[in-house]
Structure 1
Amino acid sequence: FNGNTTEELCARWSALGAFYPFSRNHNSDDCIDQDPVSLGPTVTAAAKRALEMRYSLLPYFYTLFFKAHTTGDTVVRPLFFEFPTDPNSYEIETQFLWGPAVMVVPTLYQNMTFVNAYLPPGVWYDLRNHSSYEARSGQYFTLDSPLTDINVLLRSGHIVVTQTPEVTTADTRKGDFIMIVGLDAESKANGSLYWDSGDGLDNILLREFNLFEFSVQKNELISTPKVFGYDMNGQKLSKCVILGVKHKPNSVFINSVPTSRFSYDKNLNRLTIDSINAVLSKNVTIVWK
C-alpha cells in the first residue's frame, strides 16, 4: 500500500491477495499506480490467473463462510489449526489454509522461481496441474513457482466444488458445478456445499438455501441433499475429477447407468468423468470399477 512496488513483487503479492477473504488492489496516492495493467503484462497475467483460481473456488469459499456464520468456524486459518499435534506447523507464517481442505503457498520475495513449502502429513494435490506430493510425516517440498503462478494445494481426504470462472462472480455462479476429489490413503474423501441466491440477507433464517454433503469410499461417490430450499435454476453437476485413483477403471456408472464419458491419466492417477449432468436436488451416486 505504501511505497513504490516493483513489477515482480506486485505480481507475487497480487497473486497472494487474490486469496485473502477481502481481496482488492489499492495504494496510497503518492505512489506509482499498481493496478495490473499499469505495471505490464506479467502483473496482469499473474493477477488474472490467481483471480480465476479464486473465482473457480468460490463455491467452496462460500461454504466456509456459511460454516463461519453458523458454527463460528474459521474461513482462513493457520496450519496448526488443522494439525495441532504437528509441532512443525506452529512456526509456519508464510502459508495458510482455506478451511480444512485448501492450502495457499505464496512466493513473497524477489528473484524466486521456487518456494519451500511445509506439507503436513498426507497427500497434497496441486490444483493447477493435479500433480501430487506425499508427506509421510510432515516435510518440506520445493515447489516450482513461475512468476505468473501461485501454488494452491488440495488436501487429501477432501472434496471441493468449483465452477468455471467468468468475468464476474455473478456470472461465475450461474455455471454448472465441477467436483474435485482428493482421495486419501484409504481412498476416502468428504466435502459439502452451501448454495443460495447469492444476494439475499436472510436466506438462512428463511431456509432459502441448499446444503449438500459428499462422501467417497470404496470407489463410490455419494452426493446427498441435506437441505433443499432454493431453486438452482437448472444448475447441475457437470464434471468430476478424482485424484488419487490408483488403477484405471474399466467402467463408470452414474446413478447406476453406465457412461463412456470418462478418461484416466495413469501418470497423475486422475479419473475424469465428463457430461454427468446430474441435478443435486436428488441423491447422486458415481461408481467406478
Structure 2
Amino acid sequence: MQLSLRFPNDNNTLGIDQQFLIGSAILVSPNLVSVNRQRQTTTVHAYIPQDVWYQFPSGVKVQVAGIFTDLDAPLEKINVHVRGGFIIPMQIPGANLVMGRQNPFILLVAQSAAGNASGNLFWDDGDSIDSIETKTYNYFEFSLVSNALTIHAIVTNYKDSPMRLEIVRILGISKLVTSVTVNEKDYKNFSYNIADQILVVDGLDMNMLAQSSQTIAWTTTIN
C-alpha cells in the first residue's frame, strides 16, 4: 500500500514510491539503489510518518517521526518498522510450510502512545476455498488495554493445527515491569529490558482454543 493512502493528510507521503506499507502496521523501506552497481549505497533515504514506530526485529522505539531520515541499509538488510497500536501474530518458522504450521505462535504487541493495541488472526487449512462458508476456521481478536493483553477466541472450528502461543513481546513499556500474570495466576518466566522498553513473556505454551478469553497482564512501578 502506498503511504499516501494510509496518511492522506501528510503531504510528505505524496510521491513516495520506494517505500510501502503491508496493511496498516508494517512499513518497509528497501534499498533499491544498492542493486545498481553504478549507484550502490548502504543507506536509504526514508520517510517515517508521524506516529509511534518500532524497529523490526529489535523492537526499539523510533525516537523521531514525521521526517525523512537516512537508514542503514546494506544489501543484506531491509528496513522494517512496526506501527504502534497494532498486534501482529507471527509463527516460529519450520523447515517447510507444512512443518511450520505446527509450530507455536508469537504475538508482537506494539503499543500506541496511549498504551493500547489491537489485532486479529484468521487461520484455516490454507487450501480450502470454502472454509468461511463451512466455518472450518479459527478467528482470534487481540486487544491491549491498561497493561492487559486479552486473547479472544471468536471462532474455534478448525482443530488440525495446535494453536499454541509461546512468546509475547510487548514494545514501548516505559516503566519497570514488576510482575506478570497469565489468566490471573502469577507467571515468573518473563524478562524486561529497561533500555529498550521491551517486555518478553516466554514459555507460555498457551492453547488459544482452550477458552473464549485469556489474559496476560503485568504491573509496573508507579514512577
Fold equivalence (TM over 0.5): yes
Contact 1:122 1:135 in 2 (8 A): no
- Deviation of residue 201 (structure 1)? 1.9
CA distance in 2, matches of 1:266, 1:116: 30
Equivalent in the alignment of 2:128? 200
Equivalent in the alignment of 2:37? none
1:172-208 alpha-carbon deviations (Å, 9 max, x no partner):
2221100001001101111000001112121111111
SS across alignment from 1:91: coil
1:116-148 alpha-carbon deviations (Å, 9 max, x no partner):
211111121111222221445x11122111221
Match of 2:14 among 90, 112, 116: 90
1:243-279 alpha-carbon deviations (Å, 9 max, x no partner):
0011121100010011110001112100000011212
TM-score, structure 1 as length reference: 0.70
Equivalent in the alignment of 1:131? 60
1:79 pairs with 2:6: no
How high is the sequence identity, in percent, across the aligned residues? 34
- Superposed counterparts of 1:4-43, under 5 Å: none
- Superposed counterparts of 1:84-233, under 5 Å: 84-110=8-34, 111-136=40-65, 138-233=66-161
- Superposed counterparts of 1:247-286, under 5 Å: 247-281=175-209, 282=211, 283-286=213-216
- The amino acid across from 1:113 in the alignment is T
CA distance in 2, matches of 1:149, 1:81: 26
1:103-124 alpha-carbon deviations (Å, 9 max, x no partner):
1110011321111211111121
- The amino acid across from 2:30 in the alignment is P
SS across alignment from 2:4: helix
SS across alignment from 1:171: helix
Gapped regions of structure 1 (runs ≥ 5): 1-76
SS across alignment from 2:132: coil
Name the one with the larger strand percent.
Answer: 2
- The amino acid across from 2:215 in the alignment is T
Task: Sort the Cα spacing of 1:103 and 1:172 in 2 relative to 1 into closer, same or farther, 3 A.
Answer: same
Gapped regions of structure 2 (runs ≥ 5): 35-39
Contact 2:102 2:162 in 1 (8 A): no
SS across alignment from 2:21: strand
CA distance in 2, matches of 1:166, 1:147: 25
Q: More displaced, 227-236 or 79-88? A: 227-236
1:133-178 alpha-carbon deviations (Å, 9 max, x no partner):
1445x11122111221111111111010001222322222221100
RMSD: 1.3
CA distance in 1, matches of 2:45, 2:192: 30
Contact 1:278 1:284 in 2 (8 A): no
Equivalent in the alignment of 1:288? 218
Q: More displaced, 96-105 or 122-131? A: 122-131
Q: Deviation above 4 Å: which 4+ runs of structure 1?
A: none
Contact 2:166 2:202 in 1 (8 A): yes
Contact 1:158 1:181 in 2 (8 A): yes
SS across alignment from 1:241: strand
Name the one with the larger helix percent.
Answer: 1
CA distance in 1, matches of 2:70, 2:61: 12
1:235 pairs with 2:163: yes
